[in-house]
Chain A
Amino acid sequence: MSDIIAQIPYPLLVFIVAFILLNLTLLHVAYLTYAERKIIARMQQRLGPNRVGPRGLLQPIADVLKLLQKEDIIPNNVDKSVFKIAPLISLVCAGTGVSLIPLWEKFVLSNLNVGLLFILALSSLSAYGVILSGWASNSRYALLGGLRSSAQVISYEIAMSLALLSVVLMAGSFNLQDIVKAQVASPFKVYLIPQVVAFFVFMVCALAETNRVPFDLPEAETELVAGYFVEYSGIRFALFYLAEYFGMVVMSALAVTCFLGGYAGPFEVPGLPFIWFLLKLYVLLFFYIWVRATLPRYRYDQLMGLGWKVLIPLALANLFVTAFLKLYL
């Protein structure tokens, strides 16, 4: 077996592994939408999807098939090329981050020394898809949604970078694999305990970066209909939808890697190397859904106020306390 693998040229091997990873992530994303609908339904005393397949399990597949068959409407006076390319930008930027996450001690697809910076860069870049689609749509709702989103994303970007900076400070590396190893070697085993403030800031920022409730101002249904993708239909709409859920998965995976000890668990489970990573990931994804079912939407001025006046000073203070304690102790 290993002889056959050794004979495959390296780029092709990477391509195959990346393809498998993509499919696994896509499966997670598809069933995340199902889980979200089902869990929220249960929290609101409803049944949720239960018609397609046993217990509605085939619902995500039916959704994709439905959207594939819908007409792709491009309204008059839109900036055609930008309008068409924006969903692709969103998707690529939201999804590519999965290649940088160490899923297991011996498995990380792209082991970069600056992995953390790449993920931050990708999350900034995914704002482009939103801004461009909002701008190109020639619609007031879309324009307002795009503008709000850009302001929101860049505001929370700073607090998020500062929160992750405390982690980098403790681990002394940008390499996500090294961060996990440093955590396992540290006295608490996870950075969640010494960096609980940073974790809090990071999770709030992750909600804002992925435009999730309670920070879903860009697509606030009640005032902007659907925000930046109001003019999109058919599969382009689905691409935005996919990008949002890929963003959630990547952000949660990053939180698991940086704060919850990544793939490390209290004991080894033979034959299931990814089990601890996935369990932690599911807990965080459940948290996203739980928040959506619980909290109402923020007002825009409160949102910006929270970002600039609370989270940034908090993250900065946490960074300096961390640095001071690390030198002092």
Chain B
Amino acid sequence: MLPFLITALIFLILGSVMLIANRVLAPRRPDPRKYIPYECGVDPSGPGWVPFHVRFYLIALIFLVFDVEVVFLYPWAVIFEELSWFGFVEVTIFVVMLLLAYVYAWSEGALQWE
């Protein structure tokens, strides 16, 4: 665990050193036109935080279900040999139940982007 954290720290240092070097080396020539959000040269019409499609939430919800499923499958994969057929049947039942939900979401059009 320690080497992992130290590597993360080193990457953080790398990023910070580059940021500091940039601060030292870079010029500062303020100009009000530099600070408007970029919209291909046209003045932005309104704030940047625009409403977005509710479908992104749907995808996130289905993702949660499937991610939890995968989390349950991981320990099974590790002790697969010991559980043998018993584990296989158990997991099949578990996945089939989730597949029903998956098929339902599909038929309701949750996976459809027009």
Complex contact B37–A68 (CB within 8 A):
no
Is A309 an interface residue, CB under 8 A from the partner?
yes
Complex contact B81–A15 (CB within 8 A):
no
- Which residues on the B side are within 8 Å of A158 (C-beta)? 63, 66-67, 70
Of the listed stretches A52-60, A88-96, A277-285, chain B binds: A88-96
- Which residues on the B side are within 8 Å of A316 (C-beta)? 95, 99
- Which residues on the A side are within 8 Å of B36 (C-beta)? 75-76
For B, the interface residue count at a CB cutoff of 8 angstroms equals 63
Our pick among A73, A150, A327 for the contact of B35 (Cβ within 8 Å) is: A73
Given the interface contacts A73-B35, A231-B38, A323-B88, does A88 sit within 8 Å of B15 by beta carbon? Answer: yes
Q: Mark A230-268, 1 if CB is under 8 A from B, else 0.
A: 110011101100000000000000000000000000000
Q: How far apart are A312's CB and chain B's nearest CB, in angstroms?
A: 7
Q: Mark B9-41, 1 if CB is under 8 A from A, else 0.
A: 011101110110111011111000011111110
Bound form: Cα–Cα A162–B77 in Å: 11
Complex contact B22–A91 (CB within 8 A):
no
Is B93 an interface residue, CB under 8 A from the partner?
no
Given the interface contacts A14-B6, A138-B49, A304-B111, does A231 sit within 8 Å of B37 by beta carbon? Answer: yes
Complex contact B7–A155 (CB within 8 A):
no
Q: How far apart are A115's CB and chain B's nearest CB, in angstroms?
A: 9
Complex contact A143–B22 (CB within 8 A):
no
Complex contact A96–B8 (CB within 8 A):
yes
Our pick among B26, B79, B113 for the contact of A68 (Cβ within 8 Å) is: B26
Complex contact B38–A230 (CB within 8 A):
yes
Bound form: Cα–Cα A22–B17 in Å: 14
Is A71 an interface residue, CB under 8 A from the partner?
yes
Is B114 an interface residue, CB under 8 A from the partner?
yes
- Which residues on the B side are within 8 Å of A151 (C-beta)? 56, 59-60
Complex contact A110–B81 (CB within 8 A):
no
Q: How far apart are A136's CB and chain B's nearest CB, in angstroms?
A: 10
Complex contact A235–B22 (CB within 8 A):
yes
Our pick among A99, A147, A173 for the contact of B3 (Cβ within 8 Å) is: A99
Complex contact A168–B78 (CB within 8 A):
yes
Given the interface contacts A88-B16, A304-B59, does A143 sit within 8 Å of B26 by beta carbon? Answer: no
Our pick among A15, A17, A117, A225 for the contact of B38 (Cβ within 8 Å) is: A225
The 3 lowest CB-CB distance pairs between A and B, nearest first, are A301-B113, A235-B22, A99-B7
Chain B residues with CB under 8 Å of chain A are 1-4, 6-8, 10-12, 14-16, 18-19, 21-23, 25-29, 34-40, 44, 47-50, 52, 56, 59-60, 62-63, 66-67, 70, 73-74, 77-81, 84-85, 88, 91-92, 95, 99, 106, 111-114
Can you list 10 A-B pairs with a CB-CB distance of less than 8 A? A18-B3, A68-B22, A75-B34, A75-B35, A75-B38, A77-B48, A109-B7, A231-B37, A304-B113, A320-B92
Chain A residues with CB under 8 Å of chain B are 10-11, 14-15, 17-19, 21-22, 26, 67-77, 87-88, 91-92, 95-96, 98-100, 109-110, 112, 117-118, 137-144, 147, 150-151, 154-155, 157-158, 161-162, 165, 168-169, 172-174, 225, 230-231, 234-236, 238-239, 300-301, 304-305, 308-309, 312, 316, 319-320, 323-324, 326-327
Query: A71-B26, A77-B37, A174-B74 are known contacts; what are 11 more A-B pairs with Cβ within 8 Å?
Result: A15-B10, A74-B35, A87-B15, A92-B8, A158-B66, A225-B40, A234-B22, A234-B26, A300-B113, A304-B59, A309-B111
